[in-house]
Amino acid sequence: GKLEVKPYDSLVDGEALGTFDQVSVALNGVYDGLQSTSYYGRNYWVMTEVNGDNVYIARSNSNRFLSSFRHDYTTQDADVESLWKAVYQGILRADRVITAVDAVKGDQAAKDLVKGQALVLRAMMHFDLVKVYARPYAQGNGSQLGVPIKLKFEDTYPQRNTVKEVYDQVILDLTTGRDLLKNADPSDKYHVNANTATALLARVYLQKGDNANAAIESAKLIGGGDYSLLPSSANFYNVPGSDEEIFTLRFVDNESAGSDNIGQMYLKPGYGDVRVSPDLYSTFDAADSRLVYLGKMATETVNQKYTGQGGVAGATSPKLVRLAEMYLIHAEAVSTTDPATALNDLNEIRTNRGLQPLVTVAPAAMLDSVLAESRREFMFEGHRYFDLLRNGKGVTRNMCGSSLEITAPCTIAPDAYNLIYPIPQAEKNVNPGITQNTGYGQ
């Protein structure tokens, strides 16, 4: 009748997921979810850097990420809330694909590839949540509260699963996904494949403290031959798709978030609020080729990893998983059980980055050497904060009281309540089942 109208930019649910082709389009939507400015489009990489000790926020700033730097989140913190929402929206997109793909007609092999990707991405999203909204795995051996696991669309008020339950689900999704992706093309860097699942498993096991499995998984890629370490170069982060990358979240040039992208948080002109800590700078050897990523501004050091992609200032395609991490995961995982192998792993990275190999490292110092290398290798890529959490360390900053930076705590103890994020008030307000993290009120 006259009153039947349909939207122009949307399809009703059944049509949108009714065929294999439509489900494939919906899978692209899962990747799009990762691109949210609240997630890998910017905040997840900036907040977790600012949470740690690699960077500081300049005294003169645009008012961004101050609460992350100071660890003084209120429960209404906008960054904390928008991350939570963005990641759960991504999880919903993955859930819908996982459910729908089994019901549509199509070639089973092609369907496996779609389902496998959605499972791996869903695992990554749950993992990213549990790392920041829950205490580290070791602080309670997984029995502490994690985040709600969402495996299908439900209009419910879920309680928090334990950290162990979340890790178990993440590992299950990654292993199931990897099986389904066994025929995926490993040279496609812009979609997750079996290697991505393996790399993420290595990362998850390491974070969990399961070093044996972390070593097994990371070794598969070190010896796999699909990837190789590449020398540092000024444009490395401005061009996606190199041989070192296992999974890169590709932004095409015209979908940059403009002045709100990752690089603009570091660059001047740009917001340029986030500067490099002298502490980090001082750990570099003069021969280190990665110094190409550090620039000078008067007396300060600035990050030049993300100067711009395709002519767009500050734009980058985040290289979410690359081979160098596998060496360092392997080194960390075997640092106490097999220090000699750990040293070899470490030297693979060092020699590739223009440094002399280390000849001897006392076994007791091996872990610290690995972590120091990881800090240099993955600075501004959202690793350092989790390296500290996983190893039971707090955050220690050496620049306290400098007139260059805003005032912030010098140390956040490993057991400090504000080491991790609060559950967003927006969730608390709606969901009577959710429990707030200790120290953040009721």
Partner 1 sequence: QSRTVTGKVTDGRDGSPIPGVTIHLKGSNVGTTSTADGTYKITVSENAVLVYSFVGYLSQELPANKDVINVKLANDDKQLSEVVVTGYTQVDRKKLVSSIAEVGSKQIENVPVTDVNQVLQGRAPGVVSASGSGQPGSKQNVAIRGIGSLNAGASPLYVIDGVIMNTGQYNYDVQTQSSDVLANINPNDIETINVLKDASATALYGARGSNGVIVINTKKGKAGTSKVNFKAQYGFNSPSFGNWKLMNAQQAFDYQRLLYANAGYSQADIEEIVPDSLLKHSFDWNKAAFQNGHTQNYEINSSGGNDRTKYYLSGSYFSQDGAMIYSGIKRYSVVSNLQHQVNDRIDIGMNMNLSYIDMDNSGAGNRYSSPLFGNFANNPLLPAYKPDGTLYTGLEDYWQDNSNTGDNFLYSAAVNKNINQNFRGLGKLYLNYKFTDWLKFSQTVAADFIYGHNKSYFDPTTGDGYNGADPGMSGDLVEGQQMSRTITSQTSLHGNFNVGSKHQFDYLAMMEYSPTHFEAFNAEGVGFGSGKIRVLDAASKPQTVGGSSNDYRFLSYLGQINYTFNNKYYLTASIRNDGSSRFGQDRKYGTFYSIGASWRVIDESFMKSQTIFNDLKLRLSYGSTGNADFGNYQSMQLYKYDVAYNGLPASRPSQMGNPYLTWERSNNSNLGIDMAFLHSRLTASVDLYYKKTFNMLQNRPLSPTSGFGSVAQNIGSMSNKGIEATISSRNVVGRDFQWSTDVTFGMNRNKILSLYNNQDIINPTDADGNGYTGTILRVGMPAYTWYLKEWAGVDPANGDPLWYTADGKTTNNVNLANYRTFGATMPRYTIGFNNTFTYKNFTLSAFFYGSQGNQVINGAARYGDADGARPNWNYAVMAGGNYWTKPGDIAARPKPIAGGNKNSVALSTRFLEDGSYIRLRNLTLGYNLPKEWLKAAKIQNIRVYAQGQNLLTITGYTGVDPELDFTGYEFFKYPVSKSVSFGVDITL
Q: Taking CB under 8 A as the criterion, which residues in 25-64 touch partner 1?
A: 25-26, 28-29, 31-33, 35, 59-63
Q: Does residue 3 belong to the site contacting partner 1 (CB under 8 A)?
A: yes
Q: Does residue 314 belong to the site contacting partner 1 (CB under 8 A)?
A: yes
Minimum distance, C-beta of residue 321 to partner 1, in the bound complex (Å): 16
Q: Does residue 105 belong to the site contacting partner 1 (CB under 8 A)?
A: no
Q: Does residue 93 belong to the site contacting partner 1 (CB under 8 A)?
A: yes
Q: Does residue 74 belong to the site contacting partner 1 (CB under 8 A)?
A: yes
Which residues, other chains included, contact 223 with Cβ-Cβ below 8 Å and sequence gap of 6+?
none
Among 92, 120, 181, 342, binds partner 1 (CB under 8 A): 92
- Contact between residue 328 and residue 320 where contact means Cβ atoms under 8 Å apart: no
In angstroms, the Cα distances linking 51 to 54, 137, 196, 369, 380 are 9, 18, 26, 21, 11
Q: Which is nearer to partner 1, 3 or 359 (CB)?
A: 3
Judged by CB under 8 A, the chain residues 319 through 378 that form the site for partner 1 are none
Q: Does residue 312 belong to the site contacting partner 1 (CB under 8 A)?
A: yes
Judged by CB under 8 A, the chain residues 149 through 168 that form the site for partner 1 are 150, 153-158
Among 46, 47, 91, 366, binds partner 1 (CB under 8 A): 91
Q: Does residue 182 belong to the site contacting partner 1 (CB under 8 A)?
A: no
Q: Does residue 296 belong to the site contacting partner 1 (CB under 8 A)?
A: no
DSSP reduced 3-state for 58: strand
What backbone phi and psi angles, to 5 degrees, belong to 294? -115, 130
Judged by CB under 8 A, the chain residues 245 through 264 that form the site for partner 1 are 250, 252, 254-255, 259
Which residues, other chains included, contact 300 with Cβ-Cβ below 8 Å and sequence gap of 6+?
58, 275, 276, 404
Among 141, 228, 336, 429, binds partner 1 (CB under 8 A): 429
185: left (phi over 0), alpha (psi -120 to 50) or beta: beta
Minimum distance, C-beta of residue 37 to partner 1, in the bound complex (Å): 13
Site track 382-421 with partner 1 (rule: CB under 8 A), x = hit:
-------------------x-x--xxx-------------
Q: Does residue 16 belong to the site contacting partner 1 (CB under 8 A)?
A: yes
Q: What is the CA radius of gyration of the chain?
A: 22
Which range touches partner 1 (CB under 8 A), out of 13-21, 198-206, 207-215, 281-289? 13-21
Minimum distance, C-beta of residue 276 to partner 1, in the bound complex (Å): 16
Judged by CB under 8 A, the chain residues 132 through 151 that form the site for partner 1 are 148, 150
> Which pairs count as long-range contacts for 164-170, CB under 8 Å and 24+ apart, including other chains?
164/137, 166/126, 166/127, 166/129, 166/130, 166/134, 167/127, 167/130, 167/137, 167/142, 167/204, 167/208, 169/123, 169/126, 170/123, 170/126, 170/127, 170/130, 170/204
Q: Does residue 315 belong to the site contacting partner 1 (CB under 8 A)?
A: yes
Which residues, other chains included, contact 213 with Cβ-Cβ below 8 Å and sequence gap of 6+?
201, 202, 205
Q: Which is nearer to partner 1, 136 or 424 (CB)?
A: 424
Q: Which is nearer to partner 1, 36 or 335 (CB)?
A: 36
The span from the CA of 146 to the CA of 162, in Å, is: 5
Closest CA to 309 of 346, 261, 359: 261
Minimum distance, C-beta of residue 386 to partner 1, in the bound complex (Å): 22
Q: Which is nearer to partner 1, 114 or 346 (CB)?
A: 114
Q: Does residue 270 belong to the site contacting partner 1 (CB under 8 A)?
A: yes
Q: Does residue 103 belong to the site contacting partner 1 (CB under 8 A)?
A: no
Q: Which is nearer to partner 1, 75 or 369 (CB)?
A: 75
Residue 307 CA to chain centroid, in angstroms? Answer: 20
- Contact between residue 335 and residue 370 where contact means Cβ atoms under 8 Å apart: yes
Q: Which is nearer to partner 1, 89 or 341 (CB)?
A: 89
The span from the CA of 191 to the CA of 2, in Å, is: 45
The span from the CA of 431 to the CA of 110, in Å, is: 38
Minimum distance, C-beta of residue 79 to partner 1, in the bound complex (Å): 14
DSSP reduced 3-state for 240: coil
Q: Considering CB under 8 A, how many residues would be counted as binding partner 1?
A: 92
